[in-house]
Amino acid sequence: MSEKTALVISAHAADFVWRCGGAIALHAEKGYAVSVICLSYGERGESAKLWKQDGMTLERVKSARQAEAERAASVLGVAEIKFFDLGDYPLIVDREGMMRLVKVIREVQPTFMLSHSKWDPYNTDHMRATSVAIEARMIAQAWGHNPGENVLGAPQLYLFEPHQTEQMEWKPDVLLDISSVWERKRAAIGCMEGQEHLWNYYTNVAENRGNHFRRNSGGQAGGRKSTHAEGFQSVYPRTVDEL
């Protein structure tokens, strides 16, 4: 395994593409092994286009969603993608699901983790995924949980951008320049055939976050010429040697 790793905990199969596809591609290029866990396929709640087809079944939806997610993951350079198939709308993570997640976290030993916003009144699966990520991280840190396994350190948990950010009370404190991998993210977005109505939306988001990047890196007096960016909210304080 490469030294640096990242772990994305995605409530549904497509979330990691829209919300942190740039971060994945960028870190993959930097040599990180990026793992993605899809807690569900989003088979019931985020597959309207498929369900409007005649004779659709739950299994066919799951297959289609998995195939799309795998293609996108491949485009982004994901090292490993796992589907926990815990069900969506609602996503319920029972004890066994939690322990599977803890196990993966310990195996991956992520340098940082990525998940959803803390609040989402449109989509309780999203905020549950975040709660689960926080709890699983805690369990993975416990010396008495499966003694002998590698205990987790204290990776940052970044909350990626939700839909309708203000309604989710999400506030980015980090802007990541994804200009160099934008084409790759756009290609991964294009794999999400079932949600074509969001392609333009997330292109707009990336362009506008690029504007924010330019402003916050110096604006018209020395700002970086970022064209596309992604925003993240940190859960924990970071530890540094220089401000």
**Which residues in 222-241 contact a second copy (CB under 8 A)?**
222-224, 226, 229, 231-232, 234-241
Q: For 180, phi and psi rounded to 5 degrees?
A: -70, -20
- List, in order, residues 6 or more apart from 19 with CB less than 8 Å away: 10, 116, 160, 161, 162, 230
- 124 close to 90: Cβ distance less than 8 angstroms: yes
Angle between helices 124-140 and 95-108 (to 10 degrees): 60
Token duo for residue 78: 């994901």
In the list 44, 184, 185, 228, the residue contacting a second copy (rule: CB under 8 A) is: 44
Q: Look at strands 229-234 and 156-159 and give their pairing.
A: antiparallel
Instruction: Write out the binding residues for a second copy, residues 151-170 only, by CB under 8 A.
Output: 151-154, 156-158, 163-167, 169-170
Instruction: Write out the binding residues for a second copy, residues 48-67 only, by CB under 8 A.
Output: 48, 50-52, 56, 58, 61
- For residue 93, give the DSSP letter: -
Q: Is 96 in the site for a second copy (CB under 8 A)?
A: no
Instruction: Write out the binding residues for a second copy, residues 187-206 only, by CB under 8 A.
Output: 197, 200-201, 204-205
Nearer to a second copy, 45 or 190 (CB): 45
Query: Is the sign of the CA dihedral 80, 235, 206, 49 positive or negative?
Result: positive
- Minimum Å distance from CB 120 to a second copy? 9
Q: Is 176 in the site for a second copy (CB under 8 A)?
A: yes
Nearer to a second copy, 10 or 226 (CB): 226
Q: Is 79 in the site for a second copy (CB under 8 A)?
A: no
Q: What number of chain residues touch a second copy (CB under 8 A)? A: 95
- Minimum Å distance from CB 82 to a second copy? 21
